[in-house]
Structure 1
Amino acid sequence: MREQRRTEPVQMEMTRSFPGIFTRGRGKRRFRTASPVPARRPRPLDVAFYLLPKRCEKTPKEEEQIVHMHAGLGRRTAHLDESTTHEELCDALKVLFPKLGSVTGGWLLYKPSGGWGSRQLNLVTPSDTGYTGVMLKSLSPGCKNLYIAPFQEELSTNPLPLTDVAFSNRPKATCQKCGLAIPLPLLTEHIKSCDIMDFCSDDNLANGETSQLEERQYMQECPVCAKMIPTDIIEL
């Protein structure tokens, strides 16, 4: 009992000094306790980029788009977010367009004007930190199709082999004529010009239509079908 009487003044003094710790509030609390705010996840941002061989005043026409696709240029979609920096954007574009990795003179982004057909291209001026995810998001929804143009160079438009790294990430389908895996955007044009199997088919050889082959001075055995194929078209 004596010890209890001694501790009571001490508890009263501590309660007066620190009421928030040693007293229990009654009734409803006026202010809620602070709770940790969860980190906000960056929102995804999909932008379609079109790599041009050089600076152009207008968007390419349909026949030019086919040439660009065969050359490893053309349109591809990048999956970004708001936190993407300029350096991260450059790395992502080099994966989509391997040819862009050889550009040393810089590149700029352009957005097309409204309308149909070949449209005017307008420069997207980079900010102090370059082209970032926040900047790309600030563009109007209709400007999520951007064009990339080398600033001081010109990229080659010569067609690339179908086994080139530029087509490695493209979905492919097998051509029933030549048996090659063709990127889907190029399949229609490839089928129109693919006459290798028709030209060297067993039916044509059985019918005696070998004069066209014999007229070729340079023949080579195909490693796939083991037939003698003209050297100038054996790659196809």
Structure 2
Amino acid sequence: MEMARTFPGIFNKGRGKRRFSATNVIPAKKIKPLEVSFYLLPKQYDKTPSEKEKLIHMQAGLGPRTAHLDESTTYEELCDALKVIYPKLRSITGGWLLYKSAGGWGSRKLSLVSPDDTGYTGRLLKSAGRAGQNLFIVPIQEELSTSPLHLTDEAFSSMAKATCQKCGVAVPLQLLKDHINSCLVIDVDGDQPDMDGCHPAEIKL
């Protein structure tokens, strides 16, 4: 008992309240996924493109694409992600800006989404975008070609495809209907299809 009174810290363990509560481990917040719909335009537009223009853009490797980002995405990371889904952006040296469209149907006016001090970030994209609405990428000083690309081009590599029964070529679903209507390659004799003819038909405005 005398020793216990002299050295209470040693002999009285487990009695009474703890001086310091146990540290609670706070789990780290999960990074929220951010699915953003983009649309690469070949040049400056005042309004959203028409249905005919949309087809031309898709055939040229432009048009709508979806990027999976998160709120912590930096401007540099965004640029890298966009160059993957839009190979034509790799040739842009004069910069680009983002625009969004007003609500409603048909042709709608485009308005600038101003970048902040660090450029376009995941947090800014989340506040600027709306569900089902595209953010339009517009070159500032250059104009991108709208000539149709071959269906084997890198620009179509990540798109869902189906095989054309006329020529046997895998065609992006968004272009399949138009391709079938314009495809002149028919494998009647069981020969190999003429691959040179398998590319989107050029549509002139």
Q: Normalized against structure 2, the TM-score is what?
A: 0.86
> Where in structure 2 are the equivalents of 1:109-188 lying within 5 Å?
109-139=98-128, 141-142=130-131, 144-188=133-177
* Aligned-partner Cα distance in 2 for 1:166–1:38: 40
Residue 55 (structure 2) aligns with: 66
Task: Give CA-to-partner distance per residue, 1:159-204, whole Å, 9 cap, x none.
Answer: 011111101111111111111111111000001111221xx745xx
Residue 16 (structure 2) aligns with: 26
Relative to 1, partners in 2 of residues 1:142 and 1:120: Cα closer, same or farther, differing over 3 Å? Answer: farther
**CA-based RMSD:** 2.7
Where does the alignment leave 5 or more consecutive residues of structure 1 unmatched? 203-221
Residue 38 (structure 1) aligns with: 27
Relative to 1, partners in 2 of residues 1:39 and 1:68: Cα closer, same or farther, differing over 3 Å? Answer: same
Structure holding more helix per residue: 1
Q: Does 1:79 align with 2:41?
A: no
Q: CA deviation at 1:83?
A: 1.1
Task: Give CA-to-partner distance per residue, 1:129-168, whole Å, 9 cap, x none.
Answer: 1111111122353585200010110000000111111011
* Aligned-partner Cα distance in 1 for 2:153–2:184: 22
Larger radius of gyration: 1
* Aligned-partner Cα distance in 1 for 2:6–2:40: 77
SS of structure 1 residue aligned to 2:197:
coil
Match of 1:235 among 176, 197, 202: 197
Task: Give CA-to-partner distance per residue, 1:17-66, whole Å, 9 cap, x none.
Answer: x69x9554537x79853312111111000000000001111000100000
* Aligned-partner Cα distance in 1 for 2:148–2:115: 31
**Aligned residue type for 1:72:** G
SS of structure 2 residue aligned to 1:57:
coil
* Aligned-partner Cα distance in 2 for 1:77–1:140: 12
**Aligned residue type for 2:16:** R
Where does the alignment leave 5 or more consecutive residues of structure 2 unmatched? 199-205
**Aligned residue type for 1:124:** V
User: Do 1:111 and 1:143's aligned partners in 2 also have CA atoms closer than 8 Å?
Assistant: no
Task: Give CA-to-partner distance per residue, 1:99-142, whole Å, 9 cap, x none.
Answer: 01110000100010111101000000001111111111223535
Residue 215 (structure 1) aligns with: none
Fraction of identical pairs, as percent: 56
**Aligned residue type for 2:81:** A
The alignment of Structure 1 onto Structure 2 pairs a total of residues equal to 197
Q: Normalized against structure 1, the TM-score is what?
A: 0.75
User: Do 2:75 and 2:119's aligned partners in 1 also have CA atoms closer than 8 Å?
Assistant: yes
Identify which of structures 1 and 2 has the higher relative contact order when contacts are C-alpha pairs closer than 8 Å and 6+ apart: 2
